């Protein structure tokens, strides 16, 4: 077997929350051939496979009696050039590095998604988005391999059923596939999206994709903690979408409440709701609400997943008590089957 298998592997450095966790077996296949070896190993040893990307959107238990697979395919290639080039990207490519590489080549489409942590293979699972742009806006297809029988194939963007921070991979297909690659369609035509926050004030009148990406990075760094310094999973709650009648009633009581009309209701700002409850900077044991961005829960070190989930439940309860709005957790909680 050409695949390196690590036993009782420490995952604390492989999840951005910095939660302590050991995996019974860990592999990092660099090709679909070695991925096939990993799936055979899982069957031979009776270990349920678990796919881990950059670890930026997961809550890990203290131990996983599973085979953890972290795809390490790490390249991108042109499929088509011209005004609307297409690229194929391997799952192990760091998302932010891809954004900066494309922006540096003058390509539009993903510059607003700069500095989002994680690997490209995990990006479709929650349909990553920021500053008015979602992955679904540029994604054409996803390469998947079945964890059950190893069969590989492509799924179109339509088949992925993307929604706000959502996809089929979070619902009906959860835990059934490993994503090994993406196909993205970008553009050489200037299409800046600057209508979110103060992005327009941070760039020139005719910005380049790289200028926009750098402005997004600066904005994010001002508001969000660096996971390498302070453990976090980025936005811990999704922005809730409520019925229009409920949003109108809330605006009567809270005229300054940010609201964003959606096809299925009105989206509220979860960070604003938490902040209005006076929770910014609040601590609970080894975890807390970030003092600059209330949407981010941070790990000060030494804590466990159970303690983090206690904090999240308390935050959500306070918001529901005050506003009658239910917050949904964004990071995926991994439960060990034992």
The verdict on whether 8 is a catalytic residue reads no
1 in any annotated domain: no
For residues 284 and 213, state if they share a domain: no
The verdict on whether 156 is a catalytic residue reads no
**Contact (Cβ atoms closer than 8 angstroms) between residue 16 and residue 55:** yes
Q: What is the pLDDT of residue 1?
A: 54
Close Cβ partners of 94 (under 8 Å, ≥ 6 residues apart) = 54, 118, 119, 120
List the domain range (segments joined by +) for residue 167. 76-221
- Total of domains in the chain: 3
Q: What is the pLDDT of residue 7?
A: 96
For residues 117 and 84, state if they share a domain: yes
Tell me the HSE value of 238 on the side-chain side, using a 13 A CA sphere: 19
What is the rounded CA–CA span in Å between residue 284 and residue 66?
30
End residue of a domain, out of 197, 221, 245: 221
Please tell me which residue in 56, 143, 214, 235 is annotated as part of the active site: 235
Please tell me which residue in 32, 307, 310, 330 is annotated as part of the active site: 330
For residues 59 and 174, state if they share a domain: no
For residues 34 and 139, state if they share a domain: no
The DSSP H or E segment spanning 100 is helix 95-104
For residues 97 and 203, state if they share a domain: yes
Angle subtended at Cα 225 by Cα 224 and Cα 228, rounded to the nearest 5 degrees: 140
Distances (CA, A) of 165 to 52, 130, 131, 237: 18, 10, 13, 10
CA neighbor of 95 nearest in space, from 77, 110, 79: 110
CA neighbor of 289 nearest in space, from 266, 319, 251, 267: 319
The verdict on whether 320 is a catalytic residue reads no
CA neighbor of 129 nearest in space, from 200, 174, 193, 214: 193
For residues 119 and 43, state if they share a domain: no
Please tell me which residue in 25, 143, 165, 318 is annotated as part of the active site: 165
Tell me the HSE value of 304 on the side-chain side, using a 13 A CA sphere: 6
Q: What is the pLDDT of residue 195?
A: 87
248 in any annotated domain: yes
108 in any annotated domain: yes
What is the rounded CA–CA span in Å between residue 16 and residue 120?
16
End residue of a domain, out of 204, 221, 238: 221
121 in any annotated domain: yes
End residue of a domain, out of 69, 101, 116: 69
For residues 204 and 82, state if they share a domain: yes
For residues 236 and 177, state if they share a domain: no
Low-confidence ranges of the chain (pLDDT < 50): none
244 in any annotated domain: yes
Burial (Cβ within 10 Å: 0-12, 13-18, ≥19) of residue 91: buried
């Amino acid at each position: 077997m050409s695949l390196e298998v690590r036993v009782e592997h420490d995952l604390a450095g492989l999840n951005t929350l910095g939660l302590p966790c050991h995996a019974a077996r860990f592999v990092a296949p660099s090709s679909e051939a070695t991925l096939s070896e990993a799936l055979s190993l899982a069957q031979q040893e009776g270990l349920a496979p678990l796919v881990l990307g950059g670890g930026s959107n997961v809550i890990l238990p203290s131990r996983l009696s599973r085979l953890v697979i972290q795809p390490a395919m790490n390249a991108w290639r042109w499929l088509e050039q011209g005004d609307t080039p297409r690229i194929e990207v391997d799952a192990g490519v760091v998302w932010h590095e891809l954004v900066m590489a494309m922006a540096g080549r003058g390509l539009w489409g993903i510059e607003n998604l700069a500095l989002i942590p994680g690997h490209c293979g995990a990006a479709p699972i929650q349909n990553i988005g920021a500053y008015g742009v979602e992955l679904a806006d540029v994604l054409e297809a996803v390469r998947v391999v079945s964890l059950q029988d190893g069969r590989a194939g492509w799924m179109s963007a339509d088949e992925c059923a993307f929604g706000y921070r959502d996809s089929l991979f979070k619902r009906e297909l959860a835990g059934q596939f490993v994503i090994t690659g993406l196909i993205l369609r970008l553009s050489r035509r200037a299409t800046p999206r600057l209508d979110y926050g103060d992005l327009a004030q941070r760039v020139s009148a005719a910005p380049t994709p790289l200028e926009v990406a750098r402005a997004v990075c600066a904005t994010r760094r001002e508001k969000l903690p660096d996971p390498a310094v302070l453990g976090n999973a980025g936005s811990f709650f999704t922005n809730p979408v409520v019925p229009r009648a409920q949003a109108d009633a809330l605006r009567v009581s809270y005229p300054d409440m940010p609201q964003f009309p959606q096809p299925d209701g009105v989206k509220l700002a979860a960070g604003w709701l938490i902040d209005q409850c006076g929770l910014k900077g609040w601590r609970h044991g080894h975890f807390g609400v970030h003092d600059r961005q209330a949407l981010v829960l941070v790990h000060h070190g030494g804590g466990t997943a159970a303690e983090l989930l206690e904090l999240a439940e308390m935050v959500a309860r306070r918001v529901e008590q005050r506003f009658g709005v239910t917050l949904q957790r964004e990071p995926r909680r991994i439960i060990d089957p034992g």
